[in-house]
Amino acid sequence: MAAQTLPAAIGFLASVREDSGAGLPRRAFAARGEAAEVRDGFPGSHLVAHLLHSGAPDGAHAHAGGRAVLLAGELYNRGELLSLLPDGAASADDAALVLALFARYDRHAFRLLNGRFAALLVEGGRVVLATDHAGTVPLYANVAPGRLLAATEVKTLRTAVPGRPLAGTRPVRGLPGTYQLRAGLVLDVDLGSGACTADHTWAPPRSRLVLPEDEAVGLVRRSLEGAVHARLGTATPMVVLSGGIDSSGVAALAAGRLDDRIDTVSMGTEDADEFAQARTVAEHIGSHHSEITIPTDELLRSLPHAVWAAETLDPAIVEYLLPLTALYLRIGGGNRRILTGYGADIPLGGMHREGRLAPLDDAIVSDMDGFDGLNELTPVLSTVAGHWTTHPYWDRAVLDVLVSLEAGLKSRYGRDKWVLREALADLLPRQTVLRPKLGVHEGSGVSSAFSEHLVDAGLPHEHLRETKKLYVRELFDLVVVGGRDPDEVETTTVLERVTERLCSKVV
């Protein structure tokens, strides 16, 4: 079964209890979709859940052999996984596949999966929670003896009674007793006692592969091609295209695979855009291309929505994600499957603009150690608008290759991301292949617009980093912890609160 337009489920809120009392907290997802209610019973436990979907939730819930699984998201290595199971498994949807693998491998099944998912599995009085290798679908849990709550958006758990500390997780600001699972984690919970053990299913490689140029280039090309193809789905895909090498590569590989034209879209603001560079690529690959200009004030008005969707406290991440959130909110035409070039710069050190190899590898090690919990790849940024995003560069197989290549293949002949540029050279115009990296927050002018917004409001420009951090924290407290509607957040009030906090710090 190929990936559909959207996965069977894009999120869930689930409760597992020893008794059959008490239902679910009120549904409060930022992600847009219908909610299907699932009820399932086992000796020693009862499962109630809301599966968030866009039409076909059955594929996200499977029950067999005294176990049930809920899966938000999708798998990209179905072929590999099917080779481990009897022939009849081929027609199974992703949740059923996970269940069949669990019957054979128990919790180690999650080590086999290359996907973008959050999962919950119930087996009597045992509950297993799992994130994909990079935690791209955030998963939160609240556990006490006899009961467990889990959800893909923490705001849905904001009214939960505090639970006990959980191994392998991190606390969530303002929501004591609720925790976020780490990336690549399996959390095995004994429902009766609430005790749990955590097991990591993935870690960023620390060793480096030494390869001849042509082999490294071939490896990158093949793995990226595989990741793009696995993500194409059954309807016409869309690529959010900047004209930078990362998204241009994804668009070219997608266009090359399909008989029909793909759709590409590029965003800009009144202050800045990359329209010309994106158009060059769109013409070259023959995509249906469109341009969307978002007024800067509309972009800034989307700040509460970006924090509401991503549930992140990191101001730099919010700057990267804001233009994309605003873009997704503007893309019409029903639920779309969107591929991005997001995340390539982390394993390739694309943000590192100096040629020396030791600082380059330092940056890669540090960024690969630091991504977890930022929610940079969360699907909610686009599911707020009904669209599903997927990121080929953070496919598990691609990421393993990109991280592992020795730094001299990433920075070579005076060029950053050399191995990627070389791997895509035959598919794109020369000027695209050679184009210097430009961050999404720079190309759209978002960083400077956010800074101006704060300075115009009278906040001191010598403390901008601190101010942005406080601003994002204030938004988080309102729309995530406080459950406020992002449409109702007044930026003037937020600015006043930030000013107060800054003053009280200075004094």
Residue 63 Cβ, how far from Mg ion at the closest point, in Å?
Answer: 7
Q: CB 135 → ligand ATP: shortest distance, Å?
A: 19
In the numeric block, which tokens belong to residue 433? Answer: 């292949």
- Residue 323 burial class via C-beta count within 10 angstroms: exposed 0-12, middle 13-18, buried 19 and up: buried
| Contact flag: residue 244 with ligand ATP (CB under 6 A) | yes
Whether 437 is catalytic:
yes
> 284 vs 52, 192, 252, 393, CA distance in Å?
38, 60, 9, 22
* Interface characters, 262-291, with ligand ATP (x: CB under 6 A): ----xxx-----x-----------------
Q: Which stretch binds Mg ion (CB under 5 A): 245-253, 308-316, 330-338, 393-401?
A: 245-253
- What is the torsion angle, in degrees rounded to the nearest 10, for the CA atoms of residue 421, residue 427, residue 431 and residue 435? -30
Neighbours of 61 (CB within 10 A): 24
∠ CA 474-470-504, nearest 5°, is 105
Among 287, 382, 411, 444, binds ligand ATP (CB under 6 A): 444
CB of 497 to Mg ion, least distance (A): 33
Contact set for ligand ATP, span 245-264 (CB under 6 A): 245-247
Distance between CA atoms of residues 186 and 107, nearest Å: 7
Q: Under DSSP, is residue 423 helix (H, G, I), strand (E, B) or coil?
A: helix
- x-or-dash string of contact with Mg ion, 319-348, rule CB under 5 A: -------------------------xx---
State how far the Cα of 162 lies from the Cα of 157, in Å rounded to an integer: 10
Least Å distance between CB 103 and ligand ATP?
38
Nearest to 307 by CA among 471, 159, 138: 471
Catalytic residue of the set 342, 410, 417, 471: 342
**Residue 45 contacts ligand ATP per CB under 6 A:** no
Residue 439 binds ligand ATP (CB under 6 A): yes
Rounded to whole angstroms, the Cα distance separating 421 from 432 reads 9
Give which of ligand ATP, Mg ion, none residue 349 binds (C-beta under 5 to 8 Å, depending on kind). Answer: none
The CA distances from residue 317 to 243, 273, 391, 468, in Å, are 21, 19, 16, 11
Catalytic residue, from 74, 225, 376, 474: name it. Answer: 376
**392 near ligand ATP, judged by CB under 6 A:** no
Catalytic: which of 225, 437, 468, 471? 437
Q: Does 365 bind Mg ion (CB under 5 A)?
A: no
Closest CA to 29 of 113, 108, 114, 140: 140
- CB-nearer residue toward ligand ATP: 166 or 252: 252
Stretch that binds ligand ATP, among 111-119, 130-138, 342-350, 405-413 (CB under 6 A): 342-350
CB closer to Mg ion out of 85 and 502 = 85
- Provide the minimum distance between the beta carbon of 387 and ligand ATP in the complex, in angstroms, as a whole number: 13
Active-site residue flag, 410: no
Give the x-and-dash track for 7-46 against Mg ion (CB under 5 A). ----------------------------------------
According to DSSP, the residues that pair with 148 across neighbouring strands are 16, 143
Encode burial over 156-173: b for 16+ CB neighbours within 10 A, e otherwise.
bbbebeebeebebbeebe
Which of Mg ion, ligand ATP, none has residue 123 at its interface (CB below 5 to 8 Å by kind)? none
**Element containing residue 120 per DSSP (H, E):** strand 115-123
Q: Does the annotation mark 270 as catalytic?
A: no
Catalytic site positions: 342, 376, 437
